[in-house]
Chain A
């Protein structure tokens, strides 16, 4: 799976960071950073929780 962020929508609410800290991080400028763009299957549950939890629905998953 490949993580796709709609940067026009992302407002750094950081819900994804709480749900999948291995994959998402907020940097010192309060910008979202995707640490692993193509996370392994072992992280799928956490990543899906992050996608579901994003209040702006800024994250989606693509095949990859």
Chain B
């Protein structure tokens, strides 16, 4: 018998423990990349990938590393198209991807800037605020709520539901409070969204009926929920009684979660980063044209999405390590984005980094559908802050409070201070 221990090097850190991320994972990632780039975590039966090349390889070889057998280390729910393989994945992605092309997103810019201005007007005279609760939460949530067709005044509820659902991505321990909160938020969000879904479905059926009678159907709203309801009516989604596995239901969850958790945490992470690297912030304040590269460097540096999982569809190899059919690999995006084999001086935050082929948005067939939207939201929020509050920084003596999710590196609270607008002449 071969020696399994040497064949399958164990990782020095536990990447399936949420506390690993809360405590600051960077040194742990460096150890993984250095000593066990393809590590076998026998406790959780998962390979841990920490190098850029391996993450890219697994992401771009969907025939070898599939998504439809689970995308999370602890899978208590299906996450819509993220957890599908082609052709089903592309079929469902095409329902909404036309709304996120560079041009469609550019068309949203004036509205996004208006939303940002209103959000900043509110805090303009305060001198200090919570960057998360007062700034970063609002812009992505208003944008995604408007794209979905949801009322924006309910965004505080959407925020907490979305946060609580993310917080449930943890080891399934009996009685875990974060998992109980996630289940509660899931139920409440579905009840909330079902009202709008019912309304859109009635409108869709009404239009179809008129069309079938040969009449001119009324125009339907151009929002994401209408697009999804239409596909649902046409039988495109697989239905199950278990709502956490139901394709239509989970699509509704995916859009709201993906549309705000990621961008919000990229922004909050960016605020912390700019406080830690004031020279880079000053460069942006002085040269706004650097935004052409800065948003991607923020996403590389912060990498708000921590990991996704793939499953080997047959016996294969990754960087010389044998992987057996049916075994899972966990791709650590933050680690891949600090890999010295892929980036020049990876531990330097450089707003003018170019080229920057980071994997903060993933890569390959599951590349983030909202990447263009996220880049623009990040850019507009910080452009407006640079114009109005160029001295905004983390409040001395405070530090960020990290969330409980293993999926998103969430910051729950980040106190900042700045010179109030009213005090300037």
Contacts and interface: CB of A to CB of B under 8 A. Distances in A.
A53 interface: yes
A55 B363 contact: yes
Given A55-B361, A57-B60, A57-B363, A11 B355 contact: no
Contacts of B35: none
B101 A9 contact: no
Contacts of A13: 101-102, 367, 371-372
A63 B90 CA distance: 29
A53 B357 contact: yes
B149 interface: no
A14 B101 CA distance: 9
B43 interface: no
Given A11-B101, A14-B102, A55 B90 contact: no
Given A12-B101, A12-B102, A13-B371, A49 B364 contact: no
A37 B46 CA distance: 43
B321 interface: no
B266 to A, nearest CB: 16
B152 interface: no
A56 B369 CA distance: 10
Contact of A52 (B90, B102, B357, B369): B357
Given A13-B102, A49-B355, A55 B371 contact: yes
Given A13-B371, A13-B372, A49-B355, A56 B364 contact: yes
Nearest to B362: A55
A8 interface: yes
A12 B103 CA distance: 9
Contacts of B367: 11, 13, 55-56
Contacts of B86: 8
Contacts of A12: 101-102
A29 B186 CA distance: 38
A19 to B, nearest CB: 8
A44 to B, nearest CB: 16
Contacts of B104: 30
B365 A9 contact: yes
Contacts of B399: none
B175 to A, nearest CB: 41
A3 B209 CA distance: 47
Interface residues of B, number: 20
Interface string A28-64: 0010000000000000000001001101110000000
Contacts of A56: 363-365, 367
A63 B150 CA distance: 50
B97 interface: yes
B82 to A, nearest CB: 15
A20 B357 CA distance: 15
Nearest to B369: A11
B345 to A, nearest CB: 19
Interface string B101-112: 111100000000
Contact of B97 (A11, A14, A26): A11
Interface string A1-30: 000000011011110000000000010001
Interface in B327-381: 355, 357, 361-365, 367-369, 371-372
A53 B354 CA distance: 11
A58 B388 CA distance: 41
Contacts of A8: 86, 90
Contacts of B102: 12-14, 26, 30
A54 B102 CA distance: 14
Contacts of A49: 355
Interface of A: 8-9, 11-14, 26, 30, 49, 52-53, 55-57
13 contacts: A8-B90, A9-B365, A11-B369, A12-B102, A13-B102, A13-B367, A13-B372, A14-B102, A26-B102, A30-B104, A53-B355, A55-B361, A55-B367
Interface of B: 60, 86, 90, 97, 101-104, 355, 357, 361-365, 367-369, 371-372
10 smallest beta-carbon distances between A and B, as pairs: A55-B367, A57-B60, A30-B101, A12-B101, A56-B367, A14-B102, A30-B103, A57-B364, A53-B357, A11-B97
